[in-house]
Amino acid sequence: MQKVLVTGGCGYIGAHTIVDLINNGFDVVNVDNNIRSTTKLLDGVEQITGKKVRNYKVDLCNLEDTHAVFHENRDIVGVIHFAALKSVGESVHEPLLYFQNNLTSLVNVLKCVKEFNIPNFVFSSSCSVYGNTTALPVVEETPLGEAQSPYARTKQMGEQIIEDFSRVNTTQSILLRYFNPVGAHPSALIGELPLGKPDNLVPVITQTAIGKLPKVTVFGTNFNTRDGSCIRDYIHVTDIANAHTKALQYLLDKRNTANLEVFNLGTGTGVTVLEAIKAFEKISGMKLNYELGEPRPGDVIAIYANNTKAREKLGWEPKSGIEDMMRTAWQWEVALRDRVLNN
């Protein structure tokens, strides 16, 4: 059984990816320092797959400790690197924390990938690298725009580090640029666990509906879009997860045509904030308490993906629409409440 090393697998997208990897026959080990997560999601992974995933509780900014993990797992066929701080808002106030953590951890992992001759490397990147592009739908060749936050800049710089690394190393790398990952595994055993008050739209919607938040504020309704609210390319987290398995398989089969390739992970369909709210109301049968508010500084007005490259080269096909995303996000929120009530 081929073994994969995942970093940051106790997080939202990492945990869903581990489920998909296991369901596709891979053995997985995880590295996560749990500063922004617990092993709760790995418990959910075990309930879903029947497999207990070992977590090395290691800070990837410590090269010696990171090296020890690789030394103990010399048989891995690839690394999928999720581990990073990812709050756009926090990064504005703590830029040095973001540069130090996100870049040091990446460089340390790449040093070990090089030393142990790991053949394949997949990097968790983001559509935020495109900045305020107006060339929609976005293709991978779109020139990167001005990063709108230090978080986005760490993703841009991370991609450049990997590009320079790939030029002089045989490891084959893939950059996956996520658009807006939302929703939860249909079992409702794993999902998004925002620490404190969420910033992102979908957990704000579900926490408002369940009564943890008083209301949703729509950040801006006078933009030049079909209903005045911002447009995003929401993509189901299980579709994002499957793209990682497809990307690793693509590298293992040596179908890549270059040492470094980039893929957009979006549905290709833009959805406005008000449409997302309507989709939630439809699947939940609830009337959501929302108000129309002022724009949020730094928000891109509209962004959605051209995902042709991932479809054609990776054989990847996103399966879920906005209603599935809202349904599974809501089921997860309800499961979280019931678990608290029953414990």
- The residues annotated as belonging to the active site are 151
Q: Which residue from 221, 226, 136, 180 is spatially nearest to 325, judged by alpha carbons?
A: 180
33-41, 50-58, 120-128, 324-332 -> range binding ligand WQD (CB under 6 A): 120-128
DSSP 81: E
Residue 123, strand partner residues: 81, 175
Residue 263-302 contact track with ligand WQD, rule CB under 6 A, x = bound:
----------x----------------------x--x---
Looking at 230, 247, 260, 314, which residue binds ligand WQD (CB under 6 A)? Answer: 230
Of the pair 69, 273, the CB lying nearest ligand WQD is at 273
Of the pair 86, 246, the CB lying nearest ligand WQD is at 86
16-24, 125-133, 134-142, 311-319 -> range binding ligand WQD (CB under 6 A): 125-133
Tell me the residue ranges of DSSP E strands in the chain: 3-7, 27-31, 54-56, 76-81, 120-126, 172-178, 180-182, 216-219, 231-232, 234-236, 260-265, 271-272, 290-293
Residue 161-200 contact track with ligand WQD, rule CB under 6 A, x = bound:
-----------------x-x------------------xx
Cα separation, 25 vs 19, whole angstroms: 10
Query: Binding to ligand WQD by residue 204, rule CB under 6 A?
Result: yes
The side-by-side arrangement of strands in the sheet containing 54-56 is: 54-56, 27-31, 3-7, 76-81, 120-126, 172-178, 260-265
- Taking the alpha carbons at both ends of the chain, their separation in whole angstroms is 37
Looking at 53, 76, 216, 240, which residue binds ligand WQD (CB under 6 A)? Answer: 216
- Strand 76-81 to 120-126 pairing: parallel
Looking at 7, 44, 61, 86, which residue binds ligand WQD (CB under 6 A)? Answer: 86
Positions touching ligand WQD (CB under 6 A) are: 86, 88, 126-128, 178, 180, 199-201, 204, 216-219, 230, 232, 273, 296, 299
